[in-house]
Amino acid sequence: AAHASRAALEAAGVPPESLWMIVNASGTNEQAIPDGGPLLQAALGLGGSGIRSVSVHATCLSFLVGLEMASSALERADCPPGAHVLVCSSEITSRHVDPCDSHTATLFGDGAAACVLRRAGWREGSRLHAARVETYGEGAALTQARGGGTNLPQHSPEDHHAPNPASDYAANHFEMDGAGALRLVLQHGRGFMERLWPGLSRSLGSITWAVPHQASGLALEAILDALGWPAERAIRTIDTLGNCVAASIPLTLHEGIASGKIRRGDKCVLFGTGAGLSFGGIVLTY
């Protein structure tokens, strides 16, 4: 997280100590307490700075939620002129998947990405046009890691010095019903996209690039087909990076920019799904 953040700050020409806010937007936590915001602040050498540092956790949609949160903060009346916000997503998913499960062990990847935001001037074209999240809790059990919380603590509820037999190996590793999750995505996906930006359920229209969460190759192809979007206008990184959870969308956005595909002034849709099951999307002009 700190490495990606430093690279983003250097690329933006922003000294770390001048940040107004730090948002850790990750699906896998370094530890239970404190949240990753203060840990990232300290790793950047800013532990005595007082810079507000917080976390948002929406699994694979954490970056989108963090981006929306940062954008809203920059629009506030008390936001100082020239303020910068750092949003970082960092994932070490290899610590949470079962290496014996061929469905998940070969799908997920480790990675980190960060961006620096500021409020665009009225002469600049960059804008966040729309943001939306919808959640369908009926799919909560389709993608989950049941252990680690109050439901399945590591210690026995009756004897805190004894291990909890229910908090076993399976409970503390990621479980996924991929087929069930994809069915729910296809059931609600077109309606969600239409509510995010009218017309998106049928075509990309005036949007130049799609930057999707890289859930899996099969899921990506199925969603693009259902929406009628041409595959050549979607940035794809699943084949090289795997599913990097919350870091997936910003890593894919970076690939689009670094490759020269996404250019200043291009309108993009960033979208994906997260455990829960939640849909998230942002339409912006880069």
The 8 Å CB, 24+ separation contacts for 219-223 are: 219/178, 219/181, 219/182, 219/185, 222/182, 222/185, 222/186, 223/185, 223/186, 223/189
State CA 236 to chain mean position distance. Answer: 15
Q: Does the pLDDT of residue 106 top 80, yes or no?
A: yes
Helix (H) or strand (E) holding 23: strand 21-25
For position 253, what pLDDT does the model report?
A: 98
Classify residue 137 as exposed, middle or buried by CB count within 10 Å of its CB (0-12, 13-18, 19+): exposed
Q: Does the pLDDT of residue 160 top 90, yes or no?
A: no
Q: What is the pLDDT of residues 114-131, one digit of tens each?
A: 999 999 988 888 999 999
Q: Does the pLDDT of residue 133 top 90, yes or no?
A: yes
Q: What's the average model confidence in pLDDT over 225-252? A: 96
Q: Does the pLDDT of residue 172 top 80, yes or no?
A: no
For position 61, what pLDDT does the model report?
A: 97
Q: Model confidence at 93, in pLDDT bands (50, 70, 90)? A: confident
Q: What's the average model confidence in pLDDT over 192-197? A: 97
Q: What's the average model confidence in pLDDT over 198-211? A: 96
Q: Model confidence at 189, in pLDDT bands (50, 70, 90)? A: very high
Q: Model confidence at 162, in pLDDT bands (50, 70, 90)? A: confident
For position 46, what pLDDT does the model report?
A: 98
For position 92, what pLDDT does the model report?
A: 92
Higher per-residue confidence, 189 vs 155: 189
pTM for the complete prediction?
Answer: 0.93
For position 18, what pLDDT does the model report?
A: 97
Q: What is the DSSP letter of 149?
A: S
Q: Does the pLDDT of residue 154 top 90, yes or no?
A: no
Q: What is the pLDDT of residues 27-67, one digit of tens each?
A: 988 888 999 999 999 999 999 999 999 999 999 999 999 99
Please provide the average confidence, as pLDDT, over all residues in the chain.
93
Are 85 and 19 contacting, i.e. CB atoms less than 8 angstroms apart?
Answer: yes
